[in-house]
Amino acid sequence: MNKRPDTMTPETKDLFDKVVEMFERTTGLKITFQYELLDETRYFDGLVRIEHQDMQWTFAVEAKIRVTRTTAALVKAEQSKLQEELMLITQYVTPPIADQMREIGLFFMDAAGNAYINKPPLYVFIKGNKPARNLKAAAPRRLLKTAGLKIVFTLLNNPNMVDQPYREIAAATDTALGTVGWIFWDLEEMGFLLKMGNRKRKMIDILPLMKKWAEAYPHQLRPKLLIERFKADDPRWWETVDIIDYGACWGGEVAAAKLTKRLKPGKVTIYANEPPGKLIIEKKLRKATDGNIEILKPFWKFDHKLTDQGIVPPLLVYTDLMATSDARNIETAGIIYDKYLAQLGRQD
């Protein structure tokens, strides 16, 4: 996040003007927006104040031009870092995502006049208003498409690799040599890569980059990794499995349950190059298009701190949890973030 008010884009400023206009029109409440430093180290996008009679409510603001379920989960996770209540402002919130944000307790306003706020005696929940025009999603940057996500993931888990020749990075990520060059160009232009003397490079602002990766992965890369889905009669079948014996590793909710001891998985995620036949036979797993057991193909080639435990890299566990948009999973993802990922920001 870490954005300074004087760097807000014209697009974001225009968004705020539209949101203020539509909120006042649909609710009759007075709303003002202002840039303001929230604390000594973090800048958000400002503050929103809502006034009614002699009452006033103040919210920290995070602006997102587009919102997905994962976006909402990532913004909600920021709430614990603030004294102020957090408000998401965006162009348009669909009814299903509006319901999700109400469920997880994330306040929002959009430029179509939809909103959710629950600060008694102030309660607003408006959904179903359509945007004034058809909104076309902007094409993602190359580093947030399939090949770019593979490269960025490898770099986030191995920051020193940024100094390696492009050819070695291409081989380590199963991507084209030319693609690596374009991804590094994007990283530099977006402020995530610093060129130093003696042809050295350094990854910077790692945590914001990590969250961009987490927001893009569920939509740009993950769907392409699905191999098969299964069901099991015993919902606890996975508890006695040493997944390493089957050449696979745990992701998502099972990985989080093993790392935190505080989650009861509803979905089982396994990363394996192919469905582990021996495991399928032993645990009597059945193919099912709506099964809660999913087999996904790994997209990384490096060992990491959780390899010996049969668990995917922590960033992937965190992202898989956030993508579920489940409140309990979001809370658990925050624990994993604090334990395994937050220190990455201190390495800048």
DSSP SS3 for 211:
helix
> Does residue 226 share a domain with residue 216?
no
Please give the Cα distance from 79 to 203 (Å, whole number). Answer: 26
Same domain, 103 and 184: no
Q: Give 312-332 pLDDT, tens digit per residue.
A: 999 999 999 999 989 899 999
Residues 6+ apart with CB under 8 A from 24: 30, 31
Q: What is the pLDDT of residues 170-191, one digit of tens each?
A: 999 999 999 999 999 999 999 9
Which pLDDT belongs to residue 89? 94
* Beta-bridge partners for 268: 293
Comparing 122-136, 157-171, 245-259, the range with the smallest average pLDDT is 122-136
Of all residues in the chain, the percent with pLDDT exceeding 90 is 71
Question: Is the separation of the CB atoms in 78 and 90 below 8 Å?
Answer: no
Domain assignment of residue 137, yes or no: no
Residues 92 and 41 in one domain: yes
Does some domain include residue 135? no
Are 227 and 312 found together in one domain? yes
Instruction: Determine the pLDDT at residue 345.
Output: 66
Chain segment 46-94, per-residue pLDDT in tens: 888 998 888 999 898 888 888 999 999 999 988 877 777 899 999 999 9
Give the domain-ending residue among 196, 220, 244. 220
Q: The domain that contains 150 carries what CATH number?
A: 1.10.10.10
For 118-161, write each residue's pLDDT tens digit. Answer: 999 999 999 999 987 765 656 678 899 999 999 999 999 998 89
Q: When comparing pLDDT for 138 and 333, which is higher? A: 333
Show the domain range for 38.
5-126
State the pLDDT at residue 87. 93
Question: Counting beta carbons within 10 angstroms of the beta carbon of residue 309, is it exposed (0 to 12), middle (13 to 18) or buried (19 or more)?
Answer: middle
Which helix (H) or strand (E) is 275 found in, with range?
A: none
pLDDT on residue 137: 58
Sorting pLDDT into bands at 50, 70 and 90, what band is 268? very high
- Contact (Cβ atoms closer than 8 angstroms) between residue 151 and residue 178: no
Looking at per-residue pLDDT, the higher value among 128 and 37 belongs to 128
Q: How many domains does the chain fold into?
A: 3
Across residues 268-288, what is the average pLDDT?
96
Which whole-number Å values give the CA distances from 160 to 70, 142, 299, 331, in the listed order?
28, 22, 19, 31
Rounded to the nearest integer, the mean pLDDT of the chain is 89
Do you find a cis peptide bond into 298, omega within 30 degrees of 0?
A: no
Confidence of residue 7 (pLDDT cuts 50, 70, 90): very low
Out of 198, 220, 242, pick the residue that ends a domain.
220
Residue 102 has pLDDT above 90, yes or no: yes
Residue 183: alpha-carbon gap to chain centroid: 20
**Are residue 272 and residue 309 in the same domain, yes or no?**
yes
Q: Does the pTM of the predicted model rise above 0.85?
A: yes
In angstroms, the CA 220 to CA 121 distance is: 41
335 shares a domain with 265: yes
Query: What does the pLDDT read at residue 9?
Result: 65
Residue type for position 166: Y
pLDDT at 15 over 60: yes
- Residue 31 main-chain phi, psi, to 5 deg: -135, 140
71 occurs within a structural domain: yes
Spell out the residues 6+ positions from residue 171 whose beta carbon is closer than 8 angstroms to its own: none
Residue 96 falls inside a structural domain: yes
Answer whether residue 41 shows pLDDT above 90: no
Q: Do residues 170 and 177 touch, judged by C-beta distance below 8 A?
A: yes
Q: Tell whether 136 is covered by a domain.
A: no
Listed residues 220, 240, 255: the one ending a domain = 220
Give the integer Cα–Cα distance in Å for 151 and 173: 6
CATH of the domain at 53: 3.40.1350
pLDDT given at position 2: 42
pLDDT at 265: 94
Residue 313 C-beta-side C-alpha neighbours within 13 Å: 20
User: Do residue 268 and residue 287 come from a single domain?
Assistant: yes
**For 265-274, what is the mean pLDDT?**
96
